[in-house]
């Protein structure tokens, strides 16, 4: 662990360099005794070798790691039993990552699911993220996201509201929360049994490309990825593409073709990278997750607090299936608003999507 920390903190070594070293020498411990010729054979140049040797001589990795542990941080190396198997098998997996929070959560990776999207979502994207994140969390999924402004923060907060731990994968290091206004959210994630992780060693300067690189960890940790919304250049598209290459299930919610924030997500559907979903239950069903639904008696004890669109839509539903387009025609609601309403009614246990865009009233 100490030698892994030693190599991770060497500023001149990138991820590809670290893997070349590990594959050639077998371990970072063995690499500390390596000669120039061996490093050249491993694929590094002389300049990097000299910089590394100076770093090894000057840096006390053991003391530095002890200081981190005293602050509640821990390094999880790829050889550690806590390292999730689902992440270990991706291309260019982190040789190690730093973590704060409940590290035992890493053993529950079969429940990990990513929710991503833009930093400046539309009202539609916000509604999608809130509805899907809440339902997925309430049904036992551990939400993974990047602690960024917008959709990421919504996913983390909905998990916490549902009483379920969540995992934040940072582009910055774990002792330097970015954005800074999410410091309190990060603390809440840890306090509520969640986890904050980063492959960047503490003290490393924040680089823009770190945020794109960390997206492979968000998708790599997860059984599936929901892109709540994505514009033409959304970071969520990077996560979706990486997840697709990692053979993960990718989902997104269709939106109006003229909406700026829907260009990317609609293209994911058109290119067959993402599957279109209209309800969070479709994701749970595909992942073979047993859906938690309250009994009618339990639901009857709670005030439903329906808004006017939910009341209108509920009145149009029957015990016999009714197609989405017919419901839209009868309610006069736009398609995107109707999908939000129907998802809300499903979460409240009042309606159910029975497939083929058809809905029934539950009670």
pLDDT of residue 243: 97
98 in a structural domain: no
Q: pLDDT (tens digit, 9 = 90+) per residue, 171-225? A: 999 999 999 999 999 999 999 999 999 999 988 877 888 888 999 999 999 999 9
Nearest CA-CA partner of 64 in 22, 32, 98, 31:
98
Which of 232, 262, 286 is the C-terminal boundary of a domain?
286
277 and 333 inside one domain: no
215 and 265 inside one domain: yes
Q: What is the CATH number of the domain that holds 132?
A: 3.40.50.450
48 and 119 inside one domain: no
Which of 286, 309, 343 is the C-terminal boundary of a domain?
286
- Cite the DSSP H helix spans in 46-145: 46-58, 61-70, 85-88, 123-138
Which of 257, 286, 315 is the C-terminal boundary of a domain?
286
Structure-model confidence comparison of residues 207 and 142, the more confident one: 142
Q: Residues of the chain with pLDDT > 90: what percent?
A: 77
Q: Is the pLDDT reported for residue 19 higher than 90?
A: yes
168 and 223 inside one domain: yes
Structure-model confidence comparison of residues 165 and 279, the more confident one: 165
282 and 307 inside one domain: no
80 in a structural domain: no
Q: What is the mean pLDDT of residues 345-349?
A: 80
Alpha carbons 119 and 203: distance in angstroms, whole number: 25
113 and 261 inside one domain: yes
244 and 192 inside one domain: yes
170 and 213 inside one domain: yes
CA atoms within 13 A on the CB side of 246: 28
Average pLDDT of the chain, as a whole number: 91
Alpha carbons 302 and 144: distance in angstroms, whole number: 30
Q: Residues of the chain with pLDDT > 70: what percent?
A: 96
Burial 293-317 (b: 16+ CB within 10 A, else e): eeeeeeeeeeeeebeebbebbbeeb
Q: Is the pLDDT reported for residue 300 higher than 70?
A: no
DSSP for residue 206: P
pLDDT of residue 309: 94
248 and 312 inside one domain: no
Q: Is the pLDDT reported for residue 299 higher than 60?
A: no
Q: Is the pLDDT reported for residue 294 higher than 60?
A: no
255 and 209 inside one domain: yes
pLDDT of residue 274: 97
Q: Is the pLDDT reported for residue 268 higher than 80?
A: yes
120 and 210 inside one domain: yes
79 in a structural domain: no
> pTM for this structure?
0.83
Domain range for residue 270? 103-286
Q: What is the CATH number of the domain that holds 325?
A: 1.10.10.10
94 in a structural domain: no
Q: Is the pLDDT reported for residue 22 higher than 80?
A: yes
Q: Number of folded domains in the chain?
A: 3
- Cite the DSSP H helix spans in the chain: 2-8, 15-25, 28-31, 36-42, 46-58, 61-70, 85-88, 123-138, 151-161, 183-191, 208-213, 215-221, 235-245, 263-270, 280-286, 296-300, 308-316, 324-331, 335-347
């Amino acid at each position: 662990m100490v030698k892994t920390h030693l190599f991770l903190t060497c500023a001149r070594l990138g991820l590809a360099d670290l893997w070349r070293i590990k594959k050639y020498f077998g371990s970072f411990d063995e690499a500390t005794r390596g000669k120039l010729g061996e490093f050249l054979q491993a694929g590094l140049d002389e300049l990097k070798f000299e910089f590394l040797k100076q770093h090894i001589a000057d840096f006390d990795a053991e003391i530095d790691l002890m200081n981190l542990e005293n602050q509640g941080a821990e390094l999880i190396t790829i050889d550690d039993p806590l390292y999730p198997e689902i992440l270990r098998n991706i291309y260019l997996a982190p040789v190690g990552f730093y973590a704060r929070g409940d590290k035992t959560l890493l053993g529950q990776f079969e429940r990990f699911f990513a929710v991503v999207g833009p930093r400046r979502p539309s009202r539609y994207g916000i509604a999608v993220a809130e509805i899907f994140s809440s339902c997925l969390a309430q049904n036992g999924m551990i939400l993974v996201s990047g602690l960024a402004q917008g959709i990421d923060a919504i996913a983390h907060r909905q998990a916490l509201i549902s009483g379920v731990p969540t995992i934040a994968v940072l582009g910055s290091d774990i002792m330097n929360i970015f954005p800074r206004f999410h410091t309190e959210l990060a603390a809440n994630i840890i306090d509520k049994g969640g986890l904050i992780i980063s492959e960047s060693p503490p003290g490393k300067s924040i680089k823009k490309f770190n945020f794109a690189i960390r997206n492979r960890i968000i998708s790599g940790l997860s059984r599936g990825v929901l892109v709540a919304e994505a514009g033409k250049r959304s970071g969520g598209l990077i996560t979706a593409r990486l997840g697709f290459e990692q053979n993960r299930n990718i989902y997104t919610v269709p939106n109006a073709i003229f909406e700026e924030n829907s260009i990317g997500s609609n293209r994911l559907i058109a290119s067959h990278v993402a599957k279109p979903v209209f309800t969070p239950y479709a994701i749970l069903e595909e992942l073979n997750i047993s859906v938690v639904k309250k009994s009618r008696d339990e639901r009857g004890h709670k005030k439903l607090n329906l808004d006017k669109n939910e009341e209108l839509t509920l009145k149009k539903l029957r015990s016999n299936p009714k197609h989405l387009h017919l419901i839209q025609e009868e309610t006069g609601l736009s398609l995107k608003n109707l999908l939000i309403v129907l998802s809300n009614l499903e979460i409240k246990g009042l309606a159910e999507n029975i497939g083929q865009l058809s809905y029934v009233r539950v009670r």
